[in-house]
Amino acid sequence: MDIPILFRDARFVVLDKPAGLPVHAGPRGGPSVEDCFSDLSRRRDGPWLAHRLDADTAGCLVVALRRAALHAAQAAFAEGRAAKTYWAVVRGAPSGAAGVVEAPLRRHSDPQGWRMLAGPGGQQAVSEWRVRGRGDGMAWLEVRPRTGRTHQVRVHCAVLGCPVLGDPIYGDGVGRLHLLARAITLPLDPPLAAVAPVPAHMRAALRACGWEQPAAL
């Protein structure tokens, strides 16, 4: 499996995870990010996922190559020291230019499946957001989650009244999910930093919102 590498040293690899590829195979099997682990390291133990991304989210995914690196990365995530930036194209637009969503999240299951609900009884979830562009009934948001809850960015965009384009759970589900884990930084010694390119399926919508595609792409 040929997954582009955005960063690599002796401790970590940051993969540019394609949209639609789950990180785990799951009970039904099928391709997953873990299929490429044997190509990333020949050590007897590892590699390990340092965090998770939804299957339909593209972009920066940190993989630890050594156990000490895994523990350091997990501590950075747990303590809120990891800086994560997401780009989302959303349906509609927030009323302002920037703000913070503070909406606790809890998991809810029913016969149709499970989803995350915002409201009392959930775990604290906080996301900073700003509008980077608007156009054609859409907006381009940059979201920086301060916490790392499941589906946090997707639910918080819906809380703002503008679900992520193509979201099958919190939006209309038309087309593919337009969500990119754009950048990540871990303040380790030495630090880890990576930026993911915009995937092909998001480019047209982002251009409509004012994004200028680099000449190299």
Mean model confidence pLDDT for the chain: 94
- pLDDT at site 27: 75
Largest CA distance in the chain: 52
Bridge-based pairing state of the strands 98-102 and 126-135 = antiparallel
If we measure between CA atoms, which residue out of 139, 53, 149 comes closest to residue 96?
Answer: 139
- Angstrom distance (rounded) from CA 120 to CA 110: 19
Per the annotation, the verdict on 54 as an active-site residue is yes
Alpha-carbon separation of residue 177 from 52, 75, 87, 152 (angstroms): 16, 29, 11, 14
Domains in the chain, please, with CATH?
Answer: 5-208 (3.30.2350.10)
- pLDDT at site 87: 98
pLDDT, tens digit (0-9, with 9 covering 90-100), for 16-64: 999 999 998 877 778 999 999 989 988 888 899 999 999 999 999 999 9
Rg value, the chain, Cα: 17
When pLDDT is cut at 50, 70 and 90, the band that residue 1 belongs to is low
Question: What are the b/e assignments for 182-209, b being 16+ CB within 10 Å?
Answer: bbbbbebeeebebebbbbebbeebbebb
Could you tell me the pTM of the whole model? Answer: 0.94
Residues 115 and 108 sit within 8 Å (Cβ to Cβ): yes
The residue annotated as part of the active site, out of 2, 35, 39, 54, is: 54
If we measure between CA atoms, which residue out of 71, 73, 76 comes closest to residue 62?
Answer: 73
